[in-house]
Amino acid sequence: MAGTSMPDEAGAPAAGAGPAGVVRQVPTKLVGAWRDRKRKKAARGRKKGVSRALLALLLVLLGLFFWALNSIFAAPTPGHRISLDELSALAGNQRVATATFRDVDNRIVGTFVAGSGVTGADPRLPATSPVNEPLAEGAYYADYPSSAPLTADLYRALSAGQATVSVDHQTGKQRLKLISTFLLPLLILATVFALLLAPGGRGGGGAIGDVTDFSQMRKGKVRKGASKITFEDAGGVDEAITELREVVDYLKDPAKYEALGAAPPKGLLLFGPPGCGKTLLAKAVAGEAEVPFFSVAGAEFVEALVGVGAARVRDLFARVRAAAPAIVFIDELDAAGRKRGAGGGTGGSDEREQTLNQLLVEMDGFDVSRGIVVMGATNRPDILDPALRRPGRFDRHITIERPDGEGRERILKIHARNKPFASDLDWKDIANRTPGFTGADLANVVNEAALLTIRGERDVVTVADVVEAIRRVLEGPKRRGHLMTDSERRRAAYHEAGHVIVALCQDEQQSVQRVSILTRGRAIATTELRAEEEEIMLTESQLRGRLAVKLAGSASERLVTGEISTGVEADLEEATLLARDMVARFGMADELAPLRLYGSDSSTFLGEETPLADISAETRNALDQATRRLMQEGLATAQVLLEHHRALLDDFAGTLVEHETLEGVVLQEHLDKLQRRMQPPARGRVRAKGVTAKGAEAKSLNGQARPSRRTTVG
């Protein structure tokens, strides 16, 4: 009994306290709902309800205006309509009983009575006229012009005919006429101008409203959990996600950090190459923390009018404070955060500098306990103002690099969700064939594969579709409008064979994706070589070997035909950039070592050439001479190797002319044959991508990838 009474005794208070607890929670829930609504309302900025109200008022005024006009001009029509001549004749016969002059309508209304005999008949009038029907009687109306003399004559004629004459001044219509012709038009014009100029008028569709709303930010999605993206949707950026999880925890519970006296980062600066997922990570942070997410571009703060950018910054942070905890993401931060004095402005009056100054003030003006995190993304972190990058503003810098092989595999699988891919597709192989690809490139590959499947009217995306998609992303679609002549095919074959022969003579372990003399995109023919592993450090001998491989195509053309063609342009461009980097960036030239001659890497993540630092003319000449020397040495190395292996060069070029494209097992068989015939034995360990060491079997994919070294003719 005691055992059974304990739950009853424990449960009774709970049951009794249940309704009371619910009642106590109601005010708390109502207050919370009211605060959420207030946050969202304030974060949205100016309301569009003002423009809707003005639009409704305009419609009402227009309706009243047209109703008043109709009331003024639509006069009543009692009885028969007669002319003034008929009215004069009836008055002369003393048949008009009453006559009322309506002043506003310019109309006479009244009644007439029957006469005796046919006296006063007028043959000019119709037989149905009351004048010609002496027994007719009833109501009538007649319109008269606004003429004082004529009105006086009518009055005298009606009075002489013993009619009861009166005047109706129509006071109500006079007032309505005054309102419709003066007051209502003024109200309508005032409403139209208010609709164009008043705050929120942009919702009404006026260009003038845009001028007056320059100081307002046009963006700001503020509903809670607006971002549906999470960290599961971001692959290949594990290090960045580790750093960002702390921010998510802070946004979920800012009080915990405040209680421990810990100061979470106010701002996070994401920088890296384009397409690596900086914006995606910002959205993922908002999705994980389930807080409002404000996304703006740095260019939105910059306008020609001085002061507009600063006003927009103030408006943005006012919304963010109202919606806190929240995330502000500023994309392309360098557009508004460039170093002061470096943008060609004129000091403090420069609009860009005013915008930056306001941004600095706002980032210092909010307390970290409010739960506000500012995230910025840029491809050029070096040109940002130092005051913006210092601790206390953007105090945590996160580099987003191109994904490695494992990261590329995860990204491919993420983009392949809910798409019908073939069961034999190995995403690891695809990832290995796409070195250097960013997340955006991989998403494009998956999308191109799906489009190719639709074009081929298939239901499943096959391996061939993915391979072709990679090639389309790298080189563009196939060229079907140009057919190479036999001499062009022979020249292209020797060019590509030269790359392969010289690569076999290098010490570096490499893989070849494909050798082809078919035109594709801007390329006439391609030989794609890359290292087996993704390298972090390269030695001088490796770079010299790669330089020789890049120049092997032109060396082969000159050896066989006695001259080079325009097809060596891409090779020379890549070789020149490599030789210049060896001299000016890595200090691999005796003339200038150990100097680094490049300036600050303003375009590090944009793939552009870095400008030279301020150097003397003599140093610049030495740079040019060292670059030329490396190019000449690489070309000489390629020429010596090709002359020594001329027989192998001829055989492999003939094979290319016959097959046009070599890849997979077929390519590996020819590579093994070349390596066996080389004397001295080939030092390079060049293998066809996707083929095992023994060359017995080929893997399921025989495609191309973006290599770390690619030689292209054309």
- What is the distance between the alpha carbons of residues 334 and 606, in angstroms, rounded to a whole number? 13
- What is the distance between the alpha carbons of residues 433 and 650, in angstroms, rounded to a whole number? 29
- What is the distance between the alpha carbons of residues 489 and 483, in angstroms, rounded to a whole number? 9
Beta-carbon contacts of 457 under 8 Å, excluding residues fewer than 6 positions away, are none
The yes-or-no answer on residue 496 being catalytic is yes
| Among 98, 123, 124, 121, residue whose Cα is nearest residue 109 | 98
Quick one: CA dihedral 639, 640, 644, 645, positive or negative?
negative
Identify the H or E element spanning 531. strand 525-531
State the SS3 of 131-156. Answer: CCCCCCCEEEEEECCCCHHHHHHHHH
- What is the distance between the alpha carbons of residues 398 and 263, in angstroms, rounded to a whole number? 18
**CA contacts within 13 A on the Cβ side of 618:** 2
Choice among 496, 508, 557, 663 that is catalytic = 496
As beta bridge partners, residue 107 has 102, 143
- What is the distance between the alpha carbons of residues 367 and 364, in angstroms, rounded to a whole number? 8
Decide if 301 contacts 217 (C-beta within 8 A).
no
Query: Phi/psi of residue 293, each to 5°?
Result: -125, 115
Q: What b/e sequence results for 311-326 when a residue is b if at least 16 CB atoms lie within 10 Å of its CB, and e otherwise?
A: bbbbbbbebbbbbbbb
Structure tokens at 175: 């007032």
Query: Phi/psi of residue 319, each to 5°?
Result: -65, -40
Decide if 127 contacts 145 (C-beta within 8 A).
no
- What is the distance between the alpha carbons of residues 448 and 469, in angstroms, rounded to a whole number? 5
State the SS3 of 498-526. Answer: HHHHHHHCCCCEEEEEEEECCCECCECEE
Angle at 442 between CA 292 and CA 333, to 5 degrees: 40
Dihedral angle at the C-alpha atoms of 347, 349, 353, 356, nearest 10 degrees? 140
* Sheet with 394-399: strands ordered across: 293-297, 326-331, 372-378, 267-271, 394-399
Structure tokens at 614: 């301020």
Structure tokens at 370: 């409010």
- Quickly count: other Cβ atoms within 10 Å of residue 402's Cβ: 19
Catalytic (active-site) positions: 496
